[in-house]
Amino acid sequence: MHDKSAHAARHRVPPTGFIRKYIFSTDHKVIGEQYYGLALAAVFIGMVLSWIMRIHLAWPAAAIPGMQLLSKNGAPGGVLTPEYYLQLMTMHGTIMVFFVLTTAPLAGFGNYFLPIQVGAEDMPFPRLNMLSFWVTFGAFLVAIAAFFVPQGPPLSGWTAYAPLSALGEVAGPGQGTGQVLWAVSIAIFCVGQLLGTLNFISATLDMRCQGMGLMRLPLTVWAWFITACISLTAFAVLMPACILLVLDHVAGTSFFVPSNLVVNDQLQPHAGGSTLLWQHLFWFFGHPEVYIAIVPAMGIVSHVLITNMRRPLLSHKAIIYSMVAIAFLSYMVYGHHMFVSGMNPYSSIAFSLPTLAITIPSTIMVLIWIGSLYGSKLRINTASLFALGFISMFVSGGITGFFLAQPSLDIMLHATYFVVGHFHLVMAVAALFGIFAGTYFWFPKVTGRMMNETLGKVHFWFTFVGAYCIFMPFHYLGMAGNVRRYQAFVDDFMAPLMPVHKFITIAALITGAAQLIFLYNLIHSRFWGELAPQNPWEGTSLEWSIPSPPPFDNFAGKLPVVYHDPYQYDIEGATNDYVMQDSPASINSVRGEK
């Protein structure tokens, strides 16, 4: 075997030029920041899109200032046309799901902290890593380009159900070039994620420093590793599906288009395909994607909570096994998106039961988090507040899964705002809370400066209360039968629900605006924040054992040696109440973990 001195003697030279250092950098930390920056740009675009949609829903005739600049046809005089509403909705979903919820928690934080936390100087394949980001960035540009083609972006939603998405221009504005760009963008995105995944899995297994056994990995690393295992195959299925969709457009094939369709009194030249096939392939990716977004957040939240509770979780292993169980189940349940979409009704039952079974690992995790709070010495700061907020959101959003997992209830709730409320809470808001918790927690390490706590807490309160004000009422709307993906609710039973929509819109505007506090805090603290010590939160994992910000190859040419499990808090006799993972001090107190 190679000893650590041999391993550390590699002396990688840090790049000097601006381009090699900050643009085409192979340094995992720069790539992590690039991913985070991409997600930040994307989340603000996605948020503005949601603002526009919310304003339009609450006041359908209102002119939104500046909209006509974005699209002259789509928003004449600033008032959205029905098709432009759907086009913005499609792009909101696409940008948020792919370029925010997939990139930030996994690729952003994971790239930055996974190598550090396992005690490595970089990812095993730095060039692939760089390529992964730039491929993803290219996918983002292609997706954004859809805004600027003549007919605008596609209007078929982020799920792109065929044959609406496969028929081309005849099916609606944006279904031609815009839809092709969408499919191409997603196919490219899949390639980028695959490259990232290779690094994540091999780094976790192979790059661990001496002493870093698998069970000594922090929960964040476990979460990223498990997520990478999910995305390894999920994206590999979506990519060919998108390619087949592109072929239906440009090569005249009919994979997803059945025979004898008549659009605008014209018989379509396609024949023989199946629209359900697209749904199967899409959701085979689509459901694991939900866990790709949420599992990293679970890891980050556990990590942040433990550090701030000053004690390890009741069970380290229960959390890991629960995440593994969720990863397994994520593949077996995808059909619950298709209960009423014409899938074989017997399949519905087969998909319903594993979906309900996901309750079990999810409940285990929530109970472990809550049970660990008992008797802890919880420190309240912005990061821990967001972590607590995550638990609350995850419970609220997860519980509505009881309903949607049952085909018979799905008859009433499918395609209503209930679904919108459910997945926004459990996937979007909860994952975002994980991202926020991670940002406030790790910002000092990344930049060497502290974020402003007061602004952070203001941001938290607006976001926490705001998110509930926005997404809880969605459930009530859905129970009353309010259908989603409608650009206006005219002369029907949904009209009386308009006050709720107006309330949601106002809440969304305020909550969205509060994110500017976060943005200001992020930028201001980056340059003028208080200088951060090496270990401001008194954490134990390896990222706190190196200077803030970390040097080029993380451990300055000498890889650490790990002597302890990740979360050695509440240690008697330690100078503080904790012992770092790489501290050679021995621990005599015996604490059992079941």
Partner 1 sequence: MVLTNRQDDRGAPYGGNPGKYLLVYFGILVLAGLQFAIAYQQVNVTAALFRMFALAILEAGLMVVFFMRLGAENRPFVTWIAIVTLLVLTIMQSSWPDSYRMERDAPPNDRSPGYRTGPSQ
Partner 2 sequence: MGKVFAATLIVIALASAMPIILHTWEPPADISTHGRLIDEQMSETMAEAGVAFLAAQLILAWLVWRFSNRPKNEKIQHFPGGARGLVAAAVLVVGIEVMALGIFGAKAWAAIYFTPPSANALPIQAQAGQFAFYFRYPGADGKFGPIHPEMVNEGNLNFFGLDTTHDADSKDDIVTAELAVPVNREIHLLMHSKDVGHSFFIRELRIQQDFVPGLDLAVHFTATKPGKYEILCTQLCGLGHYNMKAYLKVMSQSDFDNWLKQKAALQ
Partner 3 sequence: MSQSDLTMGTHLSVPERSSPFAMPSKKLAMWLFLIADAATFATCLVAYGFLRNGSLNWPTPFKFFPTVVNTMVMTFILVTSSLTMALGVRAAKMGDQDAAYRWTMLTAAGGSIFVLLHVHEWMDLIDEGVRLSRNPWGNALFGASFFTITGLHLIHVMAGIVVLIVVGLRCRGGRCDAGDVEITGLYWHFVNLVWMFVVPLVYLLNVSK
Helix boundaries (H) for 480-586: 498-528
Name the site residues for partner 1 (rule: CB under 8 A): 1-2, 7, 10, 12, 26, 120-127, 206-207, 229, 232-233, 237, 258-260, 267, 269, 271-272, 274, 276-277, 280-281, 284, 328, 331-332, 334-335, 342-344, 346-347, 350-351
- If contact means CB under 5 to 8 A according to the sort of partner, which of partner 2, partner 1, partner 3, none does residue 239 touch? partner 3
Give the footprint of partner 2 on residues 372-431 (CB under 8 A). Answer: 372-380, 385, 388, 391-392, 395-396, 399-400, 402-403, 405-412, 414-416
Helical (H) or strand (E) element with 323: helix 316-332
For residue 184, the surrounding DSSP H or E stretch is helix 177-206
318 in contact with partner 2 (CB under 8 A): yes
Q: Which positions ≥6 away from 515 have C-beta within 8 Å?
A: 44, 47, 459, 463
Of positions 128, 149, 198, 276, contacts partner 2 by CB under 8 A: 276
253 lies in the site for partner 3, by CB under 8 A: yes
Which of partner 1, partner 2, partner 3, none interacts with 531 (beta carbon under 5 to 8 A by kind)?
none
Asked if 122 touches partner 3 (CB under 8 A), the answer is no
**Tokens 């603002």 sit at which residue?**
51
Per CB under 8 A, contacts with partner 2 among 456-515 are 457, 461, 464-465, 468, 472, 476-477, 479-481, 483-490, 492-493, 497, 500
Is residue 156 part of the contact set for partner 2 (CB under 8 A)? yes
Which residues on neighbouring strands pair with residue 210, listed in sequence order?
Answer: 561
Rounded Cα gap, residues 83 and 71, in angstroms: 12
* Residue 240 binding target from partner 3, partner 1, partner 2, none, CB below 5 to 8 Å by type: partner 3
CA angle 396, 402, 408 (to 5 degrees): 140
Cβ proximity to partner 3, 128 vs 514, nearer residue: 128
- 197/232 Cα distance (integer angstroms): 6
CB 585 within 8 A of CB 579: yes
HEC letters along 58-88: HCCCCCCCCHHHHCCCCCHHHCCCHHHHHHH
**Nearest approach, Cβ of 569 to partner 2 (angstroms)?**
8
DSSP state of 214: G
| HSE-CB for 544 with a 13 A CA cutoff | 22
Among 110, 174, 273, 456, binds partner 3 (CB under 8 A): 273
Helix axes 453-479, 430-447, angle to 10 degrees: 170
| Nearest Cα to Cα of residue 321 among 290, 298, 353, 288 | 298
Which of 200, 418 has the CB closer to partner 3? 200
Nearer to partner 2, 450 or 571 (CB): 571
Report d(CA 589, CA 594) in Å as an integer.
Answer: 16
Q: How far is the CB of 161 from partner 1 (least distance, A)?
A: 14
| 280 versus 310: smaller Cβ distance to partner 3 | 280
Task: Decide whether 183 or 241 has the Cβ nearer to partner 3.
Answer: 241
Residues 6+ apart with CB under 8 A from 465: none
Residue 315 CB neighbours (<10 A): 16
Among positions 208-247, residues that touch partner 3 (CB under 8 A) are: 208-215, 232-233, 235-237, 239-241, 243-244, 247
Measured between alpha carbons, how far is 485 from 417 in angstroms, rounded to an integer? 9
Q: How far is the CB of 421 from partner 2 (least distance, A)?
A: 11
Q: Strand (E) positions, 73-139?
A: none
Q: In terms of CB distance, is 151 or 231 closer to partner 3? A: 231
Token pair belonging to 544 = 């706190």
166-170-175-177 Cα dihedral, nearest 10 degrees:
100
Pick the closer one to partner 2 by CB: 29 or 249: 249
Closest to partner 3 by CB, 501 vs 564, is 564
Q: Tokens representing 590? A: 């015996």
Q: Is 155 in the site for partner 2 (CB under 8 A)?
A: yes
User: Would you count residue 589 as binding partner 2 (CB under 8 A)?
Assistant: no
Using the rule CB under 8 A, which residue among 562, 569, 571, 578 binds partner 3?
562
Should residue 588 be labelled a site residue for partner 3 when binding is judged by CB under 8 A?
yes
Q: Which is nearer to partner 1, 116 or 435 (CB)?
A: 116
| Cβ atoms 163, 269 nearer than 8 A | no
Q: Which is nearer to partner 2, 345 or 549 (CB)?
A: 345
Give the orientation angle of helix 430-447 with respect to helix 498-528, to 10 degrees. 10
Judged by beta carbon distances under 5 to 8 A according to partner kind, the member of partner 1, partner 3, partner 2, none in contact with residue 235 is: partner 3
Residue 16 interacting partner from partner 1, partner 2, partner 3, none (CB closer than 5 to 8 Å by kind): none
Rounded to a whole number of angstroms, the minimum distance from the CB of residue 113 to partner 2 is 26
Query: 42 pairs with which residues across the strands?
Result: none
Residues that bind partner 3 (CB under 8 A): 1-2, 4, 7, 124-125, 128, 194, 197-199, 201-202, 205-215, 232-233, 235-237, 239-241, 243-244, 247, 251-255, 269-274, 277, 280-281, 284, 312, 316, 561-565, 584, 586-593
